[in-house]
Amino acid sequence: MGAEPVTSIAAAHAARNRGIDLLRGLCILLVIFNHVGIRIPLAKTGLAALIPAEFLRDLNYNGYEAVFVFFVISGFLITRRAYERWGDLRQLSIRDFYLRRAARILPCLLALIAVLSVLHLLELPRYTITRPEQSLPRAIWAAIGLHLNWYEGATGYLPGSWDVLWSLSIEEVFYLGFPLLCLLCGGTRWLLAVLALLALSMPLTHAAAQGNEIWQEKAYLPGMGAIAVGILAALLAQQLRPPPARTARMLRIVGALGIVAIVFAGSTIWHLLRDGYLLVLTLSAASLVLGWHWQARVERPYAFAVFNWVASCGRLSYEIYLTHMFCVFTVVDLATAIGTDPSLGSLWYIPAVASSWLLGWIVARGFSEPCERWLRSRAWGRPQVADAVEPAADIAQ
């Protein structure tokens, strides 16, 4: 495969789908709200006098569902990029695919592991691995070896900044096998069959992990099923002609309603469908992503500045996802040290979210993007387009 043309980061950002970035931004905000809410629940703040407590709890405790939406987006975008680069998944270059993933994933991952290791050795309370069955070397190996989710299922939760790596383990194990799956399955029909089986098995594989709360939440197969849904959506987009604008709009509406229903009526849907609620969530996410994909490109910014900011969170979602726990812990510890009135607890969400965005922006501009460019220049002989449009982990990318 010949070298690709040099393209700037700004040009890559311009080619992004604003709707998908907005969805990713909303998902990363739900993740941050989840991790702040575990420590400062919104339902116990003064907002509960103005907003129903159930609604506030839903804002706090849908971080897990947000990660599954990330999985769908990841599967969709990586498959779309593969079609754009190689034209046919059967022509996919395993070497180039792996190098792209490594250039995007490894700099931030290895830097995070290094920082967390130092903080553990300094015995800082929020970052010290204290469970007797766990150790720093095993945590490092679990993170690098992409089985941190299994390690936590076997030994218990790691400190929060380590714990976020569970989704990366699922996603990258899937993508280690994805090029082989594309090449071995040959025609699209066989690939569709394998992916459909994996996607439809999601409720069963999620239910099969019952008995171990951590493993049920973080098992490989349910997360891979969500990625498969995203890939199936990308295959559909490749095979079909773009539908009328009305159809694309309807897909967005149906997808958005499905996600809102899971987020704000998840307990009701769970009682009706049990583990099938994950299938509803991922199919809704796929519908929304397809609708935005088929929407005519809109170059102008959103009418409301807040939407543009949320979309910027989506563009930084990988960096924010990996680093936001530093901000969450700092804000929560500061609130505790000051002795904040519990009724004012909701105010601490503002600095938690703002500092998470700022740290993610600094890491992206000052570290991950330069590292990615450098690694690609080494791998291909000249700078390459940063994968700003592709998800890196759940989260994201």
Q: What is the pLDDT of residues 105-158, one digit of tens each?
A: 999 999 999 999 999 999 999 999 999 999 999 999 999 999 999 999 999 999
Interhelix angle 148-155/136-144, rounded to 10 degrees, is 140
Q: What is the pLDDT of residues 208-225, one digit of tens each?
A: 888 888 999 999 999 999
Q: What is the pLDDT of residues 302-329, one digit of tens each?
A: 666 788 999 999 999 999 999 999 999 9
Other beta carbons within 10 angstroms of residue 285's beta carbon come to 31
Please tell me the total number of residues recorded for the chain in this structure. Answer: 397
What amino acid occupies position 281? L
**pLDDT (0 to 100) of residue 299:** 52
Tell me the C-alpha distance between 283 and 278, whole Å: 8
Tell me the C-alpha distance between 134 and 139, whole Å: 7
Q: What is the pLDDT of residues 336-365, one digit of tens each?
A: 999 878 889 999 999 999 999 999 999 999
The tokens for 305 are: 């500045």
**Global model pTM greater than 0.95:** no
| CB-neighbour burial class of residue 98 (10 A; exposed 0-12, middle 13-18, buried 19+) | middle
Question: For residues 69 and 27, is the Cβ–Cβ distance under 8 A?
Answer: yes
